[in-house]
Chains A and B, each alone.
Chain A
Amino acid sequence: MSESDPDMMKPETMKSYIWLQTSDGSVQQVEQEVAMFCPMICQEVIHNGAGSSESHAISLPQRVNPDMLSLILDYCRFHQVPGRSNKERKSYDEKFMRMDTKRLCELTSAADSLQLKPLVDITSRALARIIEGKSPEEIRDIFHLPDDLTEEEKLEPLKNTMDDPRIRLLNRLYAKKRKELKERERLKNVEIGEHVDERSVDDLLSFINSRDPKTSKGKKKSKKKKDQKIDSSNDREGPEDFHDKESHDLHSKQQGVEETGSSMREVPEDDIFMPKVAGSEDGDIDDEIDPAMKEMLDREVEDFARRLNSNWVCSLGQERRPVHFSINGNRTTRQHIGQSSGHN
């Protein structure tokens, strides 16, 4: 207690103050009882003896900017008064929470870094209430979350998606498929424009009009392309992650084309978030395949699925039971599944 301490000399200062420094470097002094309401500040004062003067101001965590600090201090100033009733406190809290979501997030973050648990509690509660009504984009925006899940993961998330080699394969193939569909899309437009010189008018006409599987040159071209793609994908370890952007583009393209009749019931909440996978545009491409080939491929797919399916069933430790391929069964017919005749 040095005599030259300016605070001690001032007769009118009955209170003592704590000095705090915020992330932007500015320093301010705060009444001791208010500041000590924050556990983190309390710790600093008691254990490290900090905050007693301007030069020894307590450096607050980075997440506490002056704006947030003033809010937090308001909160502390109110609540540190012992005489208040629960009703008063609750009512204050309610009013206090009224601010826009971004600020609320900042406040939660700041309160958390100061270990002010009661404030973190009410802000979390407020955030939870806000989130319940929001769409995924909005929630991602609020929390700054990256949109880094694949379409499969969003639709039918499986545990350890990347671990099962079959799933990895499926994902990879699915990705290649999408890239390739895009390619074909692009090519189709290009073909009609540029290569008109190379083909006879008849060829061109038949290609454009009928999409006849036997004669269309376009089909052959794309088939070859597809084979190439598959071969290349199997020759080397292709990149596993595919860009979501691509899938989004593909889906948005197809989205307008066909939306199917969903179930009669009220749509459960999470249906809104499932991207609608339309089938009809792809359905056009289907006609190009030789029907006999189709049959064979259907059987192979069914086999594959059954194999996948049965292994899963076994691994769950359940008895082997006949698998129901009832596609039109429980889930709503969100997707257009009319073509999947081969499965039944």
Chain B
Amino acid sequence: MATLPMDIINDVFLRLPATTLVRCRALSKPCFSLIDSPDFATSHLKRTLETEQHLMILLQSDRLLRTVRVDSPDKLSDVESPLPTGGFTEVFGSVNGLIGLTNSPVDLSIFNPSTRKIHRLPIEPIDFPQHSITREYVFYGLGHDSASDDYKVVRMVQCKRKDGDGGYPFEIKVFSLKSNRWKRIHLRSEVQILVTNSYYNLTYRSGNGVLAGNSFHWILPRSEGYIESNTIIRFDLASEALGVLSFPEVLYYEDYMDIAVLDGCLCLMCYGDFSRVDVWILREYGGKWSKFITVVPTSETVVSLEFVRPMIYSKDRRKILFEINNGKLFWFDLASKSFEALGVKGYDEGRPWNVEIVVSSLVLGCKGDPRRAPEKRMMQKGNKRSDDFLSKGFKLKL
């Protein structure tokens, strides 16, 4: 029987999720080099983005990372935590199969849960002394800059002590994966004045930047008596400039507002009085906002709405997957306006979970963490015999 030519195998591999590809990589030499090639990774990513196949939901709670396929929610898998113990890890951002992890504002990483490849960012200290910042009020963003085809991480920190000019200074730094370096961003004066005018208290997860139109977005919330109106700031990944995004005036004085992205479109969620949430949508970046849907709690399934975030559409576009409150997932039927729990088995509802939608990709490569490799080899030998054997070799050759 004739062997299948490599380009058919290529075709078949392109349809597989990244987790399977990591296993297929160990099959034989041709597969190894195929899956390792950057061209393959690029075509694979392109394909999964276009076909919206193999989408996963990532759940994170402290050091626990779990993934579940959107199309088969009964299979929950654990992902080994890539970070060492200690600290409390939070996930911020998900793009092209990568997630951002923050152990602390100075210790960030980019991680691919499919291939388990992690890239630790260089430790980047904050200019302000530790007591002048609030760890929970740090802004993060992880995204892909289509202009430079680069993955970037943004971190913004505000100092709670006024400076000489009477403002609360902001520090903005951007990390580029290509250069593997952090860079400070300087603000234009009008933006500077705007953002340093007040000290912003961020609410639950509102420090995580939302990616749309090649920019990150965060809400600078209003605060009764202190800050008059809400502002949406945006960080353009290409020009690396901070600016402002316009939105309907009627929402300027909303007390609780969140921002999210659904199918590439920005959404604003306004919690009127916790008994209903209005969702506005910006269908075309740079266009006009329109009211999209109103979500109301139903007495049986969803009792209260403290945090509502649309994640993705169902395949037939008739439902939207929402994250509600502390990481509970529901399908919202657009026609009947009813909720149906996603039904992930074995998912500890008692814990609060951070949720992200993750694409299946080979971005960052399949390599094991190269820093662990010699360690692992030592481990594999597991015994002193081979160790002394190695060291003998070491003496003679190196």
Tell me the A residues contacting B by CB distance below 8 Å: 62-63, 102, 105-106, 108-109, 112, 120, 124-125, 127-128, 131-132, 136, 139-140, 143-149, 152-159, 166, 169-170, 173-174, 176-177, 181, 226, 230, 233-234, 263, 265-266, 268-270, 273, 277, 279, 282-283, 285-286, 289, 293-294, 297-298, 300-301, 303-305, 307-309, 312-313, 316-319, 321, 323-327, 329-332, 335-337, 339-340, 342-343
Q: Could you tell me if B382 and A277 are in contact, using CB atoms closer than 8 angstroms?
A: yes
- Which residues of chain B are within 8 angstroms of A317 by Cβ–Cβ distance? 180
Q: Could you tell me if B383 and A339 are in contact, using CB atoms closer than 8 angstroms?
A: yes
| Chain A min CB distance to B319 (Å) | 22
Max count, chain A CB within 10 A of own CB: residue among B371, B384, B385, B386: B384
Given contact pairs A131-B24, A268-B77, A339-B384, enumerate 7 new A-B contacts (beta carbons under 8 Å). A63-B2, A120-B8, A173-B390, A285-B383, A301-B387, A326-B84, A330-B83
- Which residues of chain B are within 8 angstroms of A176 by Cβ–Cβ distance? 389
Q: Could you tell me if A323 and B371 are in contact, using CB atoms closer than 8 angstroms?
A: yes
Q: Could you tell me if B370 and A158 are in contact, using CB atoms closer than 8 angstroms?
A: yes
Known contacts: A109-B4, A268-B80, A321-B123. The answer to whether A312 contacts B371 by CB under 8 A is yes
- Which residues of chain A are within 8 angstroms of B83 by Cβ–Cβ distance? 330
Bound-state Cα–Cα, A148 to B12, Å:
21
Max count, chain A CB within 10 A of own CB: residue among B17, B26, B30, B78: B26
Q: Could you tell me if A305 and B375 are in contact, using CB atoms closer than 8 angstroms?
A: yes
Q: Could you list some 16 contacts between A and B, CB below 8 A?
A: A112-B7, A124-B12, A132-B20, A148-B28, A156-B377, A166-B398, A177-B386, A268-B79, A268-B80, A270-B19, A293-B388, A297-B384, A309-B375, A317-B180, A325-B375, A340-B382
- Which residues of chain B are within 8 angstroms of A303 by Cβ–Cβ distance? 394
The contact of A335 among B19, B382, B391, by CB within 8 Å, is B382
Bound-state Cα–Cα, A17 to B7, Å:
32
Tell me the B residues contacting A by CB distance below 8 Å: 1-5, 7-9, 11-13, 15-17, 19-20, 22-32, 36, 76-85, 120, 122-123, 180, 365-368, 370-398
Q: Could you tell me if B384 and A177 are in contact, using CB atoms closer than 8 angstroms?
A: no
| Chain A min CB distance to B43 (Å) | 13
Q: Could you tell me if A108 and B4 are in contact, using CB atoms closer than 8 angstroms?
A: yes
CB nearest to A168 among chain B residues: B397
The contact of B8 among A108, A152, A331, A342, by CB within 8 Å, is A108
- Which residues of chain B are within 8 angstroms of A120 by Cβ–Cβ distance? 8, 11
Q: Could you tell me if B380 and A277 are in contact, using CB atoms closer than 8 angstroms?
A: yes
CB nearest to B76 among chain A residues: A266
Q: Could you tell me if A279 and B382 are in contact, using CB atoms closer than 8 angstroms?
A: yes
Q: Could you tell me if B380 and A155 are in contact, using CB atoms closer than 8 angstroms?
A: yes
Bound-state Cα–Cα, A30 to B9, Å:
30
Q: Could you tell me if B374 and A298 are in contact, using CB atoms closer than 8 angstroms?
A: no
- Which residues of chain B are within 8 angstroms of A307 by Cβ–Cβ distance? 398
- Which residues of chain B are within 8 angstroms of A159 by Cβ–Cβ distance? 36, 365, 367
CB nearest to B22 among chain A residues: A270
Q: Could you tell me if B12 and A131 are in contact, using CB atoms closer than 8 angstroms?
A: yes
Q: Could you tell me if A327 and B379 are in contact, using CB atoms closer than 8 angstroms?
A: yes
Q: Could you tell me if A298 and B80 are in contact, using CB atoms closer than 8 angstroms?
A: no
| Chain B min CB distance to A135 (Å) | 9
Q: Could you tell me if A286 and B383 are in contact, using CB atoms closer than 8 angstroms?
A: yes
Q: Could you tell me if A112 and B368 are in contact, using CB atoms closer than 8 angstroms?
A: no
Q: Could you tell me if A269 and B77 are in contact, using CB atoms closer than 8 angstroms?
A: yes
Bound-state Cα–Cα, A176 to B381, Å:
13
Bound-state Cα–Cα, A327 to B380, Å:
11
Known contacts: A270-B19, A300-B395. The answer to whether A316 contacts B8 by CB under 8 A is no
Q: Could you tell me if A106 and B391 are in contact, using CB atoms closer than 8 angstroms?
A: no
Known contacts: A273-B23, A289-B388. The answer to whether A157 contacts B79 by CB under 8 A is no
Q: Could you tell me if B84 and A304 are in contact, using CB atoms closer than 8 angstroms?
A: no
Q: Could you tell me if B384 and A286 are in contact, using CB atoms closer than 8 angstroms?
A: yes
Q: Could you tell me if A149 and B8 are in contact, using CB atoms closer than 8 angstroms?
A: no
Bound-state Cα–Cα, A232 to B391, Å:
16
Q: Could you tell me if A149 and B28 are in contact, using CB atoms closer than 8 angstroms?
A: yes
- Which residues of chain A are within 8 angstroms of B387 by Cβ–Cβ distance? 297-298, 301, 342
- Which residues of chain B are within 8 angstroms of A318 by Cβ–Cβ distance? 120, 122, 180
- Which residues of chain A are within 8 angstroms of B380 by Cβ–Cβ distance? 155, 277, 335
